[in-house]
Amino acid sequence: MDILGISINHKTASIALRETLHLSVDEIKEFIPILKENVFSEGFILSTCNRTEIFGIPKHDNVTYKSIQNCLLKFKHVEGLSSEHFLNYFSCSAVKHILEVASSIDSLIVGDGQIHGQVKDAFHLSNELDFSNTIFHKLYETSVRVGKRSISETLIGQGAVTVSFAAIKVLEKIFSSFESKSALVIGAGETGALATVHLKEKGIGKLSIANRTLSKAESLAKKVGGSVIDFNLLSNSLEEFDIIVSATSSDNYIIEYEEVKLMMKKRKGALACIMDIAVPRDVNPKVAKLDGMFYNDIDSLNVIVNENLQKRKREIPEVNKIIMEEMTTFFKWSNTLDVVPTIKDFRDFFEEIRLDEIGKIRHKVHDYEFEKVDNMTKRIIGRILHYPTKNLKRLSETGTDYETAKKYSDIVRELFNLDKRNNGKE
Amino acid sequence: MLQVMQIMSYWLLLLYFITFAVYSYDFFADKKFLHNAKRLFLFVTLLLHAIYLVERTIFLGHLPIVTQFEIFSLLAFAIGFTYFMLELLTDIRGTGAFILIFSFIFQTQATLFIKDDYLANTLLQNYPLGTHVITAILGFSAISIASAYALMYLLLYKNIKTNKFSTIFKRLPNLEILELLNFYAIIIGFVLLTIAIVIGFTWLPSAFPTFSYWDPKIIATLIVWLIYGVEIILKSRKNIIGQRFAKFSLYGFIFSILSLLFTSTILNSFHDFAN
């Protein structure tokens, strides 16, 4: 099968380079007609923050990896990128790579579930733009199946692999329910915002936000339905919160040991947790010594993240097994694509001869005799063609040896002049 | 019959060991196939234990609640059964190893030292004594389970505090749940001990001529009852929570076990009905 493709991803290029070649949905819509015209008869484009993948069936033999790369570089008006930033794939390796991407084992964060939706969207867009045909429809179905099986049959998507999610996992080991709990997020930057989203998703009872720039805190609070606490009066209200997440860019501690000590005294031993996910740290780590206070900084949370990432990596062989199974099924199917027309032409050829020959005796014998001859010749042809048909099908369905199946198909076509007959030369 | 009973006793010990081992293995290895299978092991063990207790009752002609080793066997059963019910009701399956170890320890004592031929006091064949002993045993089972939850609480507390994130962190329910289970178990234990004490005070003086309010077993049980009573009050008033509450439960349990062993083996008590 002539699937050809290129990939630029986190393994081959820096984020800056990847960004230059990133294609937005609108750009993909603009780029696909160009590819259709010059490069591929069908295909698909996947472009995320970590990768841009372009795969398709070449329109003619002159299409090479280089021509796909040039086409992309020209479209994006990018210069200075060399071939070493691209990975090139053909046939089996192309399908394998697409399935690896779909299964999330090729992702920057192994097992990142986001890729499943992105692959689906890419195939849908291709279909929408009439850029997807028989082979890529099948490849889409296979990719979706690989994604689903990877999640359901292996542990590739298990465990927290981001610091914010790891923080939530720790909190879940302390508190039974978030609904009756109150949380304070200090810092309204990207990390703080992500923490508020996670807490909101877990159904936190009361959410407050504090930030040096009040307007930012107000904006985030409005977005997530929380309240705002005056950053300069933080220490006065610490005891109200069961969970404190701190993610500011402050160079010094913004919460000191004595403040937390007083907070715990006021809480009369009720458990509390501080997640200090800022670098440098926002809270004096000495607070970890206080009874009933759980303190986690980014290093301790990274212990969970790294452990889970290792666990996910250990699942890669299992996912590869799934990929191999699905590849076998896919290539069995694709091999029949070439053999099926041969079998049809081959049988049609014999049927034509049969009809031609019995047509010669049509008016020389009685109807009942003609019927007998008709049935007899059908049986003869059926028996003659049984093994060649069966063996051609077997050749195409067993293994992924496309070349062998094609060779046999070509021999049959050559021996019986099937192509010339179809072209009306005989 | 005697021989069958002895064989069953050893089988029980083996089954408790296997059940405890399976629960422990599942706790550390987290094997999917053991999630339901381990419950089956516990069920079979409890079923055999129930048959053993019935058989013993028939053979002796009274409830097997006379010697401390019979009581240990009943305690093993009560703890296992209570845990089995808790697991069925809450579907929290990760705590079994911490609780079933008590069943195993009690049954080991019972199997190794239990006597099958002794003359029991005729007074033991009446209804109030049965209720008194069974409520006391169930009460002690409940506080044993409470202590197991307290221990789990302290282990998990330490794990989170020290950022270890070991198997304890992964497999145990959260701290608040463990604290709640601990508290509930203590309340149940306290209520049952109260019933046992009330029945004891109303029935024992008339039944035993040698009865004394200064009997070591009565004093020890009253102290245990007081410890847990105080703990319930302090917890209800939120005077002790978290780690302190767990430690209180654990110390209470250690005291109750030591006092039970001490009063049963060293001090003389009219509670020893085997003689």
Along the 275 residues of chain B, how does pLDDT read in single tens digits?
A: 778 888 999 999 999 999 999 999 988 887 777 878 899 999 999 999 999 999 988 888 777 887 878 888 998 999 999 889 888 877 787 889 999 999 999 999 999 988 877 766 666 666 777 788 888 888 988 998 999 999 999 999 999 998 888 888 888 999 999 999 999 999 999 999 999 999 888 887 877 777 777 888 888 889 999 999 999 999 999 889 999 999 999 999 999 888 877 877 766 655 555 44
Cβ neighbours of A271 in B, within 8 Å: 175-176, 241-242
Q: Which chain A residue lies closest to B177 (C-alpha atoms)?
A: A176
B180 touches chain A (CB under 8 A): yes
pLDDT tens digits for A267-304?
A: 988 999 999 998 889 999 999 999 999 999 988 898 88
| Reported CATH class of domain A163-310 | alpha beta
Find the CB nearest A296 among B163, B176, B238: B163
- Subunit contact A269:B180, Cβ cutoff 8 A: no
B30 touches chain A (CB under 8 A): no
pLDDT tens digits for A68-89?
A: 998 999 999 887 777 888 999 9
Note the pLDDT of residue B223: 93
Pairing of strands A4-9, A51-58: antiparallel
A273 a catalytic residue: no
Cβ neighbours of A176 in B, within 8 Å: 173-174, 176-177, 180
Note the pLDDT of residue B125: 65
Closest by CA position to B46, among listed B101, B91, B95, B84: B84
* B45: its two tokens: 């063990």
Cα(B241)–Cα(A247) distance, integer angstroms: 30
Type of residue at A199: L
> Nearest-CA distance from A176 to chain B in Å?
6
* Upstream peptide bond of A280 is cis (omega within 30 degrees of 0): yes
Helix runs in A173-290, H state only: 190-201, 214-224, 234-237, 257-266
> Nearest-CA distance from B43 to chain A in Å?
29
Mean pLDDT of chain A: 89
CB A358 within 8 A of CB A374: yes
pLDDT tens digits for A198-256?
A: 899 899 999 999 999 999 999 999 999 999 999 988 888 999 999 999 999 888 899 99
Cβ neighbours of B161 in A, within 8 Å: 288, 294
Cβ neighbours of A292 in B, within 8 Å: 242-243
B32: Cβ–Cβ under 8 A, 6 or more apart, which residues? none
A290 touches chain B (CB under 8 A): no
Note the pLDDT of residue B120: 67
B92 touches chain A (CB under 8 A): no
A124-151: burial string, b at 16+ Cβ within 10 Å, e else: ebbbebebbeebbebbbebbebbbebbb
Note the pLDDT of residue B30: 75
Please say if the pLDDT value at position A164 is more than 90. Answer: no
A38 touches chain B (CB under 8 A): no
Q: Which chain B residue lies closest to A274 (C-alpha atoms)?
A: B161
Burial class, A390, CB count within 10 angstroms (exposed 0-12 / middle 13-18 / buried 19+) = exposed
Superfamily of domain A4-157: Glutamyl-tRNA reductase, N-terminal domain (3.30.460.30)
pLDDT tens digits for A308-343?
A: 899 999 999 999 999 999 998 898 888 777 788 888
What number of other Cβ atoms are within 10 A of residue A153's Cβ? 13
Judge if ipTM > 0.90: no
A307 touches chain B (CB under 8 A): yes
A28: Cβ–Cβ under 8 A, 6 or more apart, which residues? A45, A47, A125
Q: Tell me the residue length of chain B.
A: 275
Cα(A46)–Cα(A387) distance, integer angstroms: 44
Phi, psi of B152 (to 5 degrees): -60, -40
CB A421 within 8 A of CB A345: yes
pLDDT tens digits for A339-360?
A: 888 888 899 999 999 999 999 9
Cβ neighbours of B176 in A, within 8 Å: 174-177, 271
Note the pLDDT of residue B44: 95
Cβ neighbours of B173 in A, within 8 Å: 176
**Residues β-bridged to residue A46:** A53
- Domain parsing of chain B, residue ranges: 1-115, 122-275
- Subunit contact B176:A174, Cβ cutoff 8 A: yes
Q: Which chain B residue lies closest to A289 (C-alpha atoms)?
A: B161
Indicate which residue of A49, A71, A92, A273 is catalytic. Answer: A49
B31 touches chain A (CB under 8 A): no
The residue among B156, B159, B161 with the most chain A CBs within 10 A of its CB, best to mutate, is B161
**Residues β-bridged to residue A246:** A186, A276
- Subunit contact B243:A174, Cβ cutoff 8 A: no
B169 touches chain A (CB under 8 A): yes
| Better-scored residue on pLDDT, B29 or A150 | A150
Cα(B23)–Cα(B171) distance, integer angstroms: 12
pLDDT band at A181 (very low <50, low <70, confident <90, very high): very high
Note the pLDDT of residue B275: 47
Note the pLDDT of residue A1: 65
A2 touches chain B (CB under 8 A): no
> Nearest-CA distance from B24 to chain A in Å?
20
- Domain parsing of chain A, residue ranges: 4-157, 163-310, 320-422
Phi, psi of B58 (to 5 degrees): -65, -45
> Nearest-CA distance from A173 to chain B in Å?
4
Count CB pairs under 8 A between chains A and B.
Answer: 46
